[in-house]
Amino acid sequence: MSISTCIFDAYGTLFDVGAAAREAAKENTALADAWPGLAADWRRKQLEYSWLRAVAGTYCDFWQLTQDGLDWAMEAAGLSDAALRQRLLDLYWELQAYPEVPEMLEALAGAGKATGILSNGSPKMLDAAVTSAGIGDLLDATLSVESVGIFKPAASVYDLVGQHFRCTPSEVLFVSSNGWDAAHAAAYGFETVWVNREGLPMDRLPGAPAHVVSDLTAISGLAL
């Protein structure tokens, strides 16, 4: 069956999550050399906390995880500046899309494909990111795990796509910069693309992505 629907993870896939620390470093000398490590730790703990809370059954919204992850990362970096913390959090609400995103989404729309986001992010966070990036008119839906109360890679999260778009898993091209997300989505039944911007090894998980790319420019071709 051909692809009818293209679904994207949000953070790190469409939106550059390193931008908050990178922008803050332009304003604060304390981050001049530390921002890459801070950004990496922040993202890693944000995801780790989502998995741990899913296993433990202690769901909270993604904004809380974002704050908790930043607090850990700042402490690990020896930073305790409350004003810097607030600035980093504020910048997280102003994330920009990767440069190739608008043209890629326009190409999918031109090919008659439905498009959407499926993310751990809360609806308010996702709305802010979509608005900041200026891609709202290029997306048919923004789906959040908040409606099911558990984080990826729970199957009930991937179920949201079929429920909303009235499609089967085999009709979905699912795109994520997280190897584990692409792998679990593949095991679920989606055709998946791993956007491996950093050239990382493949995760050892039950599923495997059908495609591995270094950015999003090839997505419209894979959906045809």
Q: What is the rounded average pLDDT for all residues in the chain?
A: 97
Buried residues in 108-128 as b, exposed as e (16+ CB within 10 A): bbeeebbbbbbbbbbeebbeb
The pTM of the full predicted model, rounded to 2 decimals, is: 0.96
Q: What would the pLDDT profile of 23-34 be if each residue is shown by its tens digit? A: 999 999 999 999
Residues 88 and 104 in one domain: no
Number of domains in the chain: 2
pLDDT in tens, 178-207: 999 999 999 999 999 999 999 999 999 999
Average confidence (pLDDT) over 158-163: 98
pLDDT reported for residue 1: 62
CB atoms closer than 10 angstroms to residue 39: 23
Residue 13 pLDDT more than 90? yes
What is d(CA 193, CA 14) in angstroms, rounded to the nearest whole number? Answer: 13
pLDDT for 197 equals 96
Structural domain boundaries enclosing 158: 5-15+95-222
Residues 97-102 have a mean pLDDT of 97
CATH number of the domain at 61, please: 1.10.150.240
* 50, 120 contact by CB (below 8 A): yes
Instruction: Give 101-145 pLDDT, tens digit per residue.
Output: 999 999 999 999 999 999 999 999 999 999 999 999 999 999 999
Measured over the CA atoms of residue 149, residue 154, residue 155 and residue 161, the dihedral's sign is positive
Of the three residues 56, 75, 92, the one that is the final residue of a domain is 92
- The residues, ordered by sequence, that sit 6+ positions from 85 with a Cβ below 8 Å of its Cβ are 70, 71, 74
C-alpha span between 109 and 207 (Å, rounded): 28
CA distance 158 to 160: 5
Res 35: pLDDT: 97
Residues 107 and 83 in one domain: no
> Do 79 and 101 fall into the same domain?
no
pLDDT tens-digit readout, 44-77: 999 999 999 999 999 999 999 999 999 999 999 9
Q: Is 137 a residue of the active site? A: no
pLDDT-based confidence at residue 217 (cuts at 50, 70, 90): very high
Whether the pLDDT of residue 212 is over 90: the answer is yes
Where is the domain boundary, 68, 92, 116? Answer: 92
Residue 44 has which token pair?
């890693």
Q: From the DSSP assignment, how many helices (H) and strands (E) are in the chain?
A: 9, 6
| pLDDT at site 136 | 97
